[in-house]
Each structure stands twice: as structure tokens, then as C-alpha cells.
Structure 1
Amino acid sequence: MWWKIQSLASQSTELFVKKLSRNDTSWADDSGKHQAGFYIPRPIREAGFFPELQANNPAKLHIFHAECTVLWPQTGEITLSNMRHYSNKGPETHFTGLPKPLFRDLTPASLILSGRLAQPISDCSYWIIVLDSATEEAELLETALDLEAGFHYGRFEPSRFEDASRLARDETQELIERLQSAIRNGTLPELLAEYADIPNPATIAAGARKEWLQTNGFTGLDPWAIPNPGDAIMEISRDIEFRHYRRYELRRRAVELVSLLADSSDLTTAVVRRFPEIDRVFLSASQQRKNRAGRSFEHHIAASLKAGHIRFTEQAVTGGRRPDFVMPDLSALRSKKRTYAEALVLAAKTTLRERWKQVSSERLNCDVFLATVDDRVAASSIREMANADIRLVVPEALKSSDEAHYKGQPNVLSFREFFDGEIRKSRPFLVIAR
């Protein structure tokens, strides 16, 4: 599918991407709903990506309408789709006439990707692909277009698939030139040694926090001073830090691969014969990236707790488990004399899937909270966590998002609510007097 997306993007003059909300997809899972389609935000409608809407019914001048022929590459269907804007009801435009199966059973925060074709294909001027957020293609799209954690919708130039930014182009070209020079001069081992070590997660995390603090005018990640501490943690860990990490990763892995192949005069033979070594490089890169993501989130939560002068112990071993954060400390957690509210456990997982079930066994006669920045958690999983007495802590933007499924769930708190309600109000003894 990814090669097809790249091919269609190269034939398009402009791209439109939207993160799907519940209103965009619920009709596909509920046969009782008659409105089948997703909504086009007003800025996209007014920007001219889709055909201009016309009010051509004198009896109903409040209804603006347009049609467009759409290719759906995933099913091979061609639809004569309709766009309808009721100017007396709201700013959005309803896009209907589309293949229902593509929108059924989607993971929260899935994406639609559409392109306006330079030349029609089968009389179609547009193409649309639906990407479930749990798929590799969705992750590739987010990386290719540098979609940040707070992304909702946007228009993009197709060239973004080749180069995400001028800075990335410049850095990539510099690396290419260094590699070419090292091959000519026989200094590849020295370059490999220079780029061999990616800074440890704590160092990269500290650099990302420093950038966010300088940009936003704060001296520390103090949850009492920052209005939306969860949003700050999400932006630092998912956007800024990942951008920093990718620069280090590219240098190291590129030099490793070039070093494997540089001595061969026949590239094809070298790739085939040394494929196991090449495979190990990519496997190592994948494992390191996954490990970094989890530790990154924990580092920023710890920095926020420290900046807020909140008593906690990190990675304390108890009962064969190692909860990410115990408050106030392990001795209090183990005490048989304390009350239920005099201790709590806070686990941290960037992505949940079924991994949240690991947290339920960490119950030790206290509240158990699970912090995450995952916007793909289904409502059914959230209810399962509630039944297991697990309360979720999510960034403020995700708690109120129409695309995630956290809104209105009684066992979901924002980071702001967690700090204000569960710590300052319910457990003031956790905050050290300044």
C-alpha cells in the first residue's frame, strides 16, 4: 500500500490529510445512522482543495453543494461523491458517497489521505485512502509528513514525501558528503566510531526538554506553573525528542550500512551475501527505537514530578514488579498501617494495546493510575480498564479530543486533573513545601 500512496502522491498537485473523529466514522459501525460520510473542516473547504460549493437551488439557498469523482485505491471503486454544506447548521461540509467498509472498525485517530490529481485517472480528479492508525502505513505517513502529536488536519505539497523539511535536506546532504569523503580517504572506521554511540535516552530527553522550555519561556517542567502539563510532556516526547533521536539514528545506521557494503565492487552481490548483517542493523534500529520511546515518556514525567516538588520513588521493585512511579515511596506503599489513599502507583506507557493488563497486577491496596500519550485506545478497552480499577491519565488535548475516545469516560483524567485533584487536593502530603 505504501508504494501506491507514494505513486499517487507523485501524480497529485496537493494532498489533504485529516485525523478522523468519532463523528467521521461512527456511521459505518452503526446501521441506525443515515448520514454516511466524513466532515471537511471549513479552512480546507475555503482553501480550494475540493471543488467550489454552489447554492444552485433557489428554494434552499442555505444548502451549498458540489460533486466530485473519487478513486478509492484500496477497493478499486470509483464513486460520484457529494459535498454538502448547510450554512444554517455549522461550518463543516459533509462528504458522502463513499465505500462504507473502509470506515468500519477503525482504530481511534485513524487518518484519511486524499490527493487532487494533476491529470485524471479513470475520469477521477481525486483519490482517497483510509489508513487505520494501528497500521504501519499510518506510521509511515506521520513520519513522512512530520505530523505532530496535536495534528488534526492539513494540506501538504506532495514533495513532502521526499523531504520533510529544508533542515532535513541539509543535514542529509552533509551526511552523504561526509560518507563519500570517508570512502575516498579510507576513513570509514573513524566515521563509524564517531557516530557509533547514540546518546542515552536521558541525555536526548534533557535536550528535548531544554528546547521546549526555551521556546515556551519556562525554567522547568513544573506542573503547577504550566497550564497543560500533559500536552507539554506529549509534545516533548512525541515530537521534539523523536526529531532529535532521528538525527542521531540516521547518522549511525547509515554509516553502519555503508561500512558493510563499501568494500564490494558489486552492490547486488554484497547486498545478497551480507543480508543477515544488514537485517541485524535494521532489527537493532527497531528495538532501540521502541526502547527509547518508553523510557522517554518516563523521563519527562519524572522531570515534571521533580519540578513540582512531588514525593516519589522511580522504578521501585515490589512483589516481582517494578512500577514506574510509587508515591510517596516504597516503605509507605508496603506499610500495613497506612490508609488506602496514603499511597498511589503511577505507571507510564506510551502505547497501550494489551500492555495495560500488566498494570492491573501492580495493585497494592492503593489507587493505580496509568499515564499514556496513546490516542488510539478504543472505548471498549477504556471500559475494561475501569473494570480493573485502572484510571488513565492523558494529555489535556487528548482528554477533550473528538478523535480519541477519552472524552466523557469517568476513569480518564487529564494530567492537569491528576496533579490538581489526586495530588494537591487529595494527597497534599505528597507535595514538599518550598
Structure 2
Amino acid sequence: MGFHPEWNDISALIAQSESLFIKKLSRNDTSWADSHKNGHQNGFYIPRFIAESAFFPKLNNSNPEKPHIFDVEYLTFWPASGEIKTSTIKHFSMRNPNDIEKARPRYEWHHTGIPKEQFRAISPASLLVIGKVRESICGASYWFIVVDSVSDEAEIIETAFDLDSDFHYGLFDPASLTEPASETDQLIAELSQAIKDGTLEQFIKRQALPSPDSLARQAQDKWLEENKLSGMCPFSITHPGDAVMLISRDIEYSIYKQAELRFRAAQVARILLHGGGDPVGNLVRAFSELDSIFLSAAQTRKSRAGLSFEHHVARLFRDGRVRYEAQAVFGGRRPDFVLPDVKALNVNGDAVIVSLKTTLRERWKQLALEKPLGAIFLATVDDRVSGEAIDEMERNSITLVVPESLKKAKESAYDGYDNVITFRQFFDDEVSLKRPSLILPL
């Protein structure tokens, strides 16, 4: 398995667990593994809510001379390397305990005794998954897996446990891997009734994935209703980047998953029940067709994310009366937006190129080719970008635009970089202050 367990291995461990703790790792949780300067830390922090729950073993004071320190030593299993480690959790309940005047409560739980190699050189916002098993593994009642945020397994975990865009940590019941009972039971009942009535084909024909435009409108309308707003003007929304991230990654995706479940289940039902024959026989004979359905499902999810982001940013431009041209082709390039339009590039010093990437990886490098044409801004909701990549973007005169919460998040690497700005700063400074001509008059 190396240090990158596959989902099959992770899901097998989840199935053996009575409860799970998932944490998005902060820079403080991992920096010690990459630098000798932080070598004394050698571990990650446990949030107070989790520490005070019954998930981890109970802590006690083992040193009467230091009554403010509580700890526990226990065995942990690290399946990526097959190691059994003696780990320690320490709770420092007081700062400056020897100075009465300065003494004050301290809520710090620190977990040490872990394999350094598994925390080294991992991407920002990677996940730590811990399972509390029903039956011990080689004497250990807990297993630990570090999942790099750029891996397929991280995406699967985020989807399987429905981790929101603002997720930091949480406790989970392994049973939560299944679909919500109400939605699943409703669909089962409808399918069963259609089969009984002989109307399966009619039921299948009624199922369809909503268009990207329709999905975007539904998600925006729901967000606007929840926030009691009539529009998405970026100059009046306190955190426009966070709004786009929430609408795209959480609200719209939730709507999409409900539609996808019905659409894909109907497709599979048609194959399994074809001709009223044996479902097992139909399954075997049509396996390649089923494989194509699930491959299409995965590809559609990924393409939806990009289209979703584009629709919601365009809504910010429209409601903010910002002049823009979308998907304009020039010189073999087609950025997502040009402000105000392609004609202004290399003519008007106010012209701006805005490209969107829900996930960056190495795809941002193509933007460097557009540098002579206008100021380049790259908007993303990806919290996994490394400091090295941000430095390289700065050398290529590319400014990252990120949601407000990601700029200051402990899990991301964005804080402290001048070429990383928030959506709020983009609209206030880069548009309204520096380029007011981009805004249409009332």
C-alpha cells in the first residue's frame, strides 16, 4: 500500500470501525515533518470538541508534580506502513502554571508518536482519517491514515461523507456512507411501483440530469432565499468568494446528487430488468454497458464542477454590473472571462483576464502565455495549492483569487502571499478602485 492507501483498503477499515474522526490537516499539523525547526512538535493537534468527546482514550494526570498536564499512552495502527506505534495524547490545561498572576486556562491537546514519513511533503488541506475499531488490530483499537488532498481517495472521502466546503473536522458514523434513508427509500418505492404497474419505461424517461444552467439557477435561488437577498452583487455581499464556494460545492452539488441518484438508478434498472429476464444474467451480459454508465457518472461530476463555478462567478459580474465577455476566443486562447472585452486587450490598460479553475494542479501554467495581453487573475476554490506553486505564479505575474475563508484558513497555504487576494479584494480594489470603468453606470 505504501503511504497512499487505495479506497478499497480504506473502506475495508471503515467497515471494521464503530466511529470515525476526520480532520483537514492544518499547516501546524504537518510542518514539523518537513522542517527540523519544528522537530520538537512531532504530531498534530486534536480540536477541543473531539478531545472532550468519548472518541479517544480517557486522559489522566500521570505526574503529580505537573497537575496541569493530562495524558494517555496507547497503541495505534498505521496501515499505510503496517506499523503499530505507541502514541501519546497530552492535554496542557494551563498556561504559565507556576505564575499565579499569568496563569490562565489552556485548551491544547497534542497527539504524538506518529510516523513522520506519512506527514512529510503532503499537499495543503490533506485529510487525516482515524477509525475506532470494534475489535483491536494487533492490540491497537485505532487506525490512522493520511490521505493527500490531491489524491482520488481524498475526493472519494469528501463525497462519501458529504464534507462541506468549510469542513475542518468531525466525528462520523461509518453508516453515514450510505444514502439518506428518506431519499433512497422514496426512490426504491417509486421504482418498485413502476415495475409492478408495468410503467418502468415511462418512469425512466421522466428521469434526466438538469442542465448546468438550471442547476446553477436552482442553487443560486436557494442561497438567495436562505440569505433573504434579491441578487448576488459582489459589492454588497460581505464574502462573495465564500458565497460562490458554498453555492457551487455544497448547495448545487446536493441538488445534483439527488438528480443523479434517480437518473443513474433508472439507467441501471433498465439494464437489470431488460425484457423481464434474470437480473443476474442481464448484469453479466451488460457489464460493459454498466461500466460505461458509472464512468460517465464520474466524468459528468467533474465537468459539472467547472461549469458550476463559471455560472456563479458570471452571476457576480452581472449583478455587480461588471462589464465582461465570456469564453471569447483570441489567438488560440479562450479564457473564461475578459473584462471588459477582447477588443480592449493590449489597447486598454484596464483590461483584465479572469480564468477559473476549481482545482489547479499544473493546469494554471498555460495562463502564463497570456501575460502580454492583460492583467491575469486566476480564481479558484482549491485549498490544496502549495506555497511553491504560489511563488511560481507570482514569477509569472498571476494573481490568485480565493474565497475569503480560504485566504486565512489554517489548512491552506495562502496566508502571507501578496499575489493571493480574496474575491472581496478583487471586486473592491482591482475592479472598483483601480478600474472603475469596468462597472456600468446605473
Separation of aligned partners in 2, 1:19 and 1:231: 18
1:87 alignment partner in structure 2? 93
Change (3 A) 1:240 1:78: same
Q: In structure 2, the residue corresponding to 1:130 is in which secondary structure?
A: strand
Question: Do 2:23 and 2:170's aligned partners in 1 also have CA atoms closer than 8 Å?
Answer: yes
Equivalent residue for 1:102? 118
Matched, 1:238 2:249: yes
Calculate the TM-score normalised by the size of structure 1: 0.93
SS in 1 for 2:164: coil
Provide the residue aligned with 1:24 in structure 2: 29
Residue 182 of structure 2 corresponds to 170
Superposed structure 1 runs of 4+ greater than 4 Å apart: none
**1:364 Cα shift?**
4.1
Which of the residues 177, 184, 199 maps onto 1:187?
199
Q: Tell me, in whole angstroms, the C-alpha distance in 1 between the residues paired with 2:8 and 2:324.
A: 48
Question: Mind listing any 5+ residue stretches in structure 1 that lack a counterpart?
Answer: none
Q: Is 280-289 or 213-222 further displaced after alignment?
A: 280-289
Identify the residue that residue 259 of structure 2 maps to in structure 1. Answer: 248
- Offset of residue 409 of structure 1: 1.3
Partner of 1:71: 77
Fraction of identical pairs, as percent: 48
Per-residue CA shift, 1:192-227, capped at 9, x if unaligned? 2111x3111011011001111111222111111111
* Partner Cα separation in structure 1 for residue 93 and residue 329 of structure 2: 60
Instruction: Choose from 129, 136, 143 the match for 2:159.
Output: 143
Unaligned runs of 5+ in 2: 1-5, 96-105
Shift of 1:36: 0.9
TM-score by length of 2: 0.92
SS of match in other structure, 2:363? coil
Report what 1:366 is aligned to.
Answer: 374
RMSD over aligned Cα, in angstroms? 1.7
AA partner of residue 233 (structure 2): D
What is residue 325 of structure 1 aligned with on the other side? Answer: 337
Q: Give the aligned partner of residue 354 of structure 1.
A: 362
- 264-273 or 129-138, larger mean C-alpha shift: 264-273
Of residues 34, 45, 59 in structure 2, which corresponds to 1:39? 45
| 1:9 maps to which of 14, 33, 50 | 14
Cα pair 1:72 1:78 within 8 Å, conserved: yes
- Alignment: residue pair count: 425
Distance 2:13 2:303 in 1: 34
Which residue of structure 2 aligns with residue 345 of structure 1? 353
Q: Tell me if structure 1 keeps the 8 A contact 2:346–2:374.
A: no
Does structure 1 retain, via aligned residues, the 8 Å contact 2:79–2:145?
A: yes
Contact 1:221 1:303 in 2 (8 A): yes
Q: 1:231 is aligned with what amino acid?
A: D
Query: 1:334 Cα deviation (Å)?
Result: 5.0
Counterparts of 1:167-316 in structure 2, within 5 Å, are 168-195=180-207, 197-263=208-274, 265-316=277-328
Q: For residue 22 of structure 1, what is the amino acid of its counterpart? A: R
1:193 maps to amino acid: K
